[in-house]
Structure 1
Amino acid sequence: MKKYLFFSFILATCSLYECKTPRTQTSKSVTVSIDTENFLSCCAPNLTLPDGKPVWCETSAVLYDNGTVYLANDKEMPTGLSPVFSKPWDRLADTTVQPKPLLAEPFLTSKKFEDFATNGDYIFLTTAFDRVKPGSADWDGFNTILYWKRGNEAQPQVLAPEEGAQNSVAYREQLSRLLAQNRPAFSAGMPYFKVEGLAVKDSMLLFGVREEGESYSKFDYRTRIVAVSFTKKKTASGERLALKDDWRIVTDFDPASVVELPKPLALSSLEYDPIRQVFWLVTSIEKDNLVDAYLWVATADELLNNRPFTLVRDKQGQPIHFGHKAEDITLVGRDHLLLIHDDDRLLTKVGSRTRQPNQAAYTVLKVH
C-alpha cells in the first residue's frame, strides 16, 4: 500500500508540474521565429582580384563550434586569404574584426565549397562535385571532401579511397552511377550533378543533391539525399576515415508538394540536429533576380525512409522564408539556428541597408 501511494504521489506531482523526460521532437511540432538578421564581412572593403574585379563575399557553408563560426566562400580569394575562414560568434557582424583565414593547403586547392557538417568528433566540408574534365586533373579540386578532428582545422585531411589523395574525385563515379539508377537516358552515369548539402549522423554521411542532368546548362532541380557510411582505418601516422560501399538514395523529395510555395525550389543545405534528433533541410529559389529560401524538418526515420519533410512555419502558421538564397544552416546552442546566405552578386538588403560586395547576409532563428 505504501508503494502504491508513493507512485500515486509521483504521478500527481508530474501532472501538476509537467515533469519532462528527454524525447525526440516530432517534425510536426517545430515552429521558429526570426531572431536576428545582419551582414558579416568576408574581407576588407574594396578588395580586388588580380584582374581588378572586386572580391565578392558568396558564402556557401557555415558551422558553429564552441564559440567560433567557420565559413566558406564558393569563390576563390586573393593570395594571403582563403575561401575558408572563421570569426568569433559574438563578433560575427563586427566589421572591425577581420576573418581569420584557414591557410592549410587543402583549403586552397579545393574549389567551390558548399556545406559543413559535424558529428561532434569530426568536422566535414564538401565541395560541389559539379564538374570534372575527362582526361585531365584540372577540375579534380571541385570534387573534394575534407575532414578533421574538432579543434584541429590546421590539419585537414582528404576523404578518399587511397591515403595521400589530393581530392575525392574517386568517389564521383559512385555518386554518378547511383543518381542515374532507373534513368535509361543516363545508362553510363549522371553526366552532371551538384552537391549542395552535407550532414553527418554518427558514422553516416548524407549528401544533398540540388541539380542533375546532361550538363550545367541543361539540368533539373532536385531535392535528393544520398547516404553512405564511413569507418576509421589505422595508418602509420594515426588514423584516417574512408567511405564504405553502401551508397544509397534515402530521400527523393519534391518541395512542389506544398502548392503555396514558389517554384522551382531545390535543396541548398542539410543539417542533423542531435538535440532534437531531426534533420533540417533548406530549399532555395533563384529565378529572374528573385532569391528566397524555405526551411523544412524531418525525423531521422522520415528522412531515411523517403517520407516527406514538413515545412517549418512560425507561430502564426506562415512559412518561414528569408528573402535571400540561404546556402547553409548550423545549430547554435540548444535553441538557435544560423543560416548563411549566398545572394551571388545581387544587392540584397537587410532592413534599410544594402549589401556591399565584401558582405553576406545571415539570419538567426529561434526554435520553439
Structure 2
Amino acid sequence: MTYRLPAITLTILLFAVGCKTAKLSTGKLPATATITEEGFLNCFTAGTSLNGQPVWCEASAVLYNGKNVFFANDKDMPGGQSPVFMKAPETLADSTKPPTYLTAAPFSQGTKYEDFAQTPDRRFVLLTTAFDRVKPGGHDWDRFNTILYWRSGDEQHPHVLAPDDTSRTSIAYRQQIAQLLATEEFPGAIPYFKIEGLAATDKQLLFGIREEGKSYESFTYRAKIISVSYSVEKAGEADRIRLANDWKIVNNFDIASADPSLPKPLAISSLEYDPHRGCFWMLTSMEANGQLDAYLWVITPSDLYANKPFSLVRNEEGQPLHTPGHKAEDLTPLDHNRLLLISDDDRARTTIGAQVRQPNQAAYTILTIK
C-alpha cells in the first residue's frame, strides 16, 4: 500500500459535485479502497491551554458540505474558541491558515461531540454528542446529551434537537434510547450507553451505539444501529426538525463473527450515509494496549434495515483496509470516489512518515474508492 504525504492537493475538493437526490438507492457496493493521502490538521494554535493544562485536539467528527470541511473536538476549548470549527478544503494541511471557530453559544454548551451527519439533500447538518454521561438528581452532565442541527450555510444559528424550542440539551431523548436498549440483564432501561455514529436519510436519523452496559467502567463494545423518523416543520421563521416516537433497533452487527481474524475489541466509531453511492459506510475502531486502529465497512440500505452484516472493505491486495496507528473516528464523502477520515488518537504521539503529531494536531486520511 502506498502512503503519500499531503502536498496541499486538496484544492480539487472545491469541485466536488454534490448529490441533490434524497432517494436511497441500492447500487453496487465498492470492491476496494486505497489510502491515497495522509496528513496532520492543525486544530488550533500550538501551546493552547485550558485551566493550566495543554489542550489536545482529539478530533472525533468531520463533515464536508460541498464548500467547507467541518470538524469537532470531543474536548472543551478555551473562551473565544470552540470545539467545532471549519477550514477550507485546500487548507487542511496548511498550518498558516487557522480554522474558523463556530462560536454560537450552543456549540460551547455541548460536550464530547462524536459525529456529524448531513441530510442527503444537503439541507441540514447535524452533530451529536456521546450521550455517555448523566448525573442522577442533577443537570450538570446534561450537556453530554446534545444533538445540534442547522440549515446548511447557516452554521451561526444552530438549534438544539428537542421536543420543544427552548431546551438547551437533548436530554429528553435519553430515556427513550435507554428503554430501547433494555436487555435481560438490564430490563426496563439500560443504565449506560455511548453514541459514536450518526447518519441521516431523507426520513430517518440513525445512531451508532458503541458501548452499552452498567456504567462507563463496565460495558460491552457494540456496533448496534438504532433509527428514528424525523420531519421538518415551520416554527416562525425557522425550520425545526422534529423526531417521531418510533425508535427501533435496525441492525445489531457482530464484528467478531463477520471476520474472526480482526483484532479485538473493535466497535463502531462512525456511521455515514453516502448519497453519491447510495450506501452506508461504517468505521469500527479500537484502542487497546497502546494499539490504535480502525477498519472500514459498507452496506446497502436494504441490507442494513434487514439486519444483514456489513461488508469489510479491502485494499487492492485483498487485505482488510485499515488505519494502523490511528483511531479513525468519523468519515465524510468528498465526492463519488473519495472519503475523508479524521482520527481521534487521544494523546498519543502518533506519526505519519517522519512527522510526529503535536498536541494541537489531528491525523486525517483520504481514501480513494475503486
TM-score by length of 1: 0.91
Q: Secondary structure at the match of 2:53?
A: coil
How much does 1:316 deviate? Answer: 1.4
| Kept in 1: contact 2:47–2:360 (CA 8 A) | yes
Tell me which residue corresponds to 1:65. Answer: 65
Tell me which residue corresponds to 1:168. Answer: 170
Structure 1 residue identity aligned to 2:281: W
Tell me which residue corresponds to 2:280. Answer: 279
| Structure 1 residues 38-53: aligned runs within 5 Å | 38-50=39-51, 52-53=52-53
> Structure 1 57/348 Cα, relative in aligned 2: closer, same or farther at 3 Å?
same
Tell me the percent identity. Answer: 53
Tell me which residue corresponds to 1:295. Answer: 296
How much does 1:24 deviate? Answer: 4.0
How much does 1:48 deviate? Answer: 1.3
Tell me which residue corresponds to 1:356. Answer: 358
| Kept in 1: contact 2:26–2:302 (CA 8 A) | no
Distance across 1 between alignment mates of 2:26 and 2:136:
46
| Kept in 2: contact 1:67–1:90 (CA 8 A) | no
Q: Secondary structure at the match of 1:239?
A: strand
Matched, 1:144 2:146: yes
Structure 2 residue identity aligned to 1:121: R
Write the deviation string for residues 111-130 of structure 1: whole angstroms up to 9, x where unpaired: 10000000111000000000
Gaps of 5+ in 1: 1-22
How much does 1:30 deviate? Answer: 2.5
Q: Secondary structure at the match of 2:231?
A: strand
TM-score by length of 2: 0.91
How much does 1:299 deviate? Answer: 0.2
Q: Secondary structure at the match of 1:184?
A: coil
How much does 1:233 deviate? Answer: 2.4
Tell me which residue corresponds to 2:342. Answer: 340
| Kept in 2: contact 1:176–1:189 (CA 8 A) | yes
Matched, 1:228 2:218: no
Structure 2 residue identity aligned to 1:205: L
Q: Secondary structure at the match of 1:117?
A: strand
Write the deviation string for residues 324-354 of structure 1: whole angstroms up to 9, x where unpaired: 1011000002211000000000111111211
Q: Secondary structure at the match of 1:272?
A: strand
Write the deviation string for residues 15-38 of structure 1: whole angstroms up to 9, x where unpaired: xxxxxxxx84333x4311111010
How much does 1:61 deviate? Answer: 0.3
Write the deviation string for residues 159-191 of structure 1: whole angstroms up to 9, x where unpaired: 1011211110000000000011xx122123110
Tell me which residue corresponds to 1:201. Answer: 201
Distance across 2 between alignment mates of 1:234 and 1:79:
33
Distance across 1 between alignment mates of 2:165 and 2:339:
35
Which stretch shifts more, 64-73 or 227-236? 227-236
Distance across 2 between alignment mates of 1:358 and 1:262:
29
| Structure 1 residues 1-368: aligned runs within 5 Å | 24-27=26-29, 29-50=30-51, 52-119=52-119, 120-180=122-182, 183-257=183-257, 258-323=259-324, 324-368=326-370
Distance across 2 between alignment mates of 1:36 and 1:88:
17
Q: After the TM superposition, which parts of structure 1 deviate over 2 Å for at least 4 consecutive aligned residues?
A: 23-27, 236-239
Write the deviation string for residues 222-281 of structure 1: whole angstroms up to 9, x where unpaired: 000001010122323333111001100001001112012101110000000111110000
How much does 1:63 deviate? Answer: 0.2
| Kept in 2: contact 1:340–1:361 (CA 8 A) | yes
Tell me which residue corresponds to 1:18. Answer: none
Gaps of 5+ in 2: 1-24
| Kept in 2: contact 1:49–1:55 (CA 8 A) | yes
Q: Secondary structure at the match of 1:268?
A: strand
Q: Secondary structure at the match of 1:67?
A: coil
| Kept in 2: contact 1:265–1:284 (CA 8 A) | yes
Distance across 1 between alignment mates of 2:364 and 2:356:
13
Write the deviation string for residues 117-147 of structure 1: whole angstroms up to 9, x where unpaired: 0011100000000011111111111001100
Aligned length: 342
Distance across 2 between alignment mates of 1:45 and 1:64:
25
**Cα RMSD (Å) of the superposition?**
1.0
Distance across 2 between alignment mates of 1:25 and 1:89:
28
Structure 2 residue identity aligned to 1:325: K
Q: Which has the larger radius of gyration?
A: 1
Question: Which structure features the higher share of helix residues?
Answer: 1
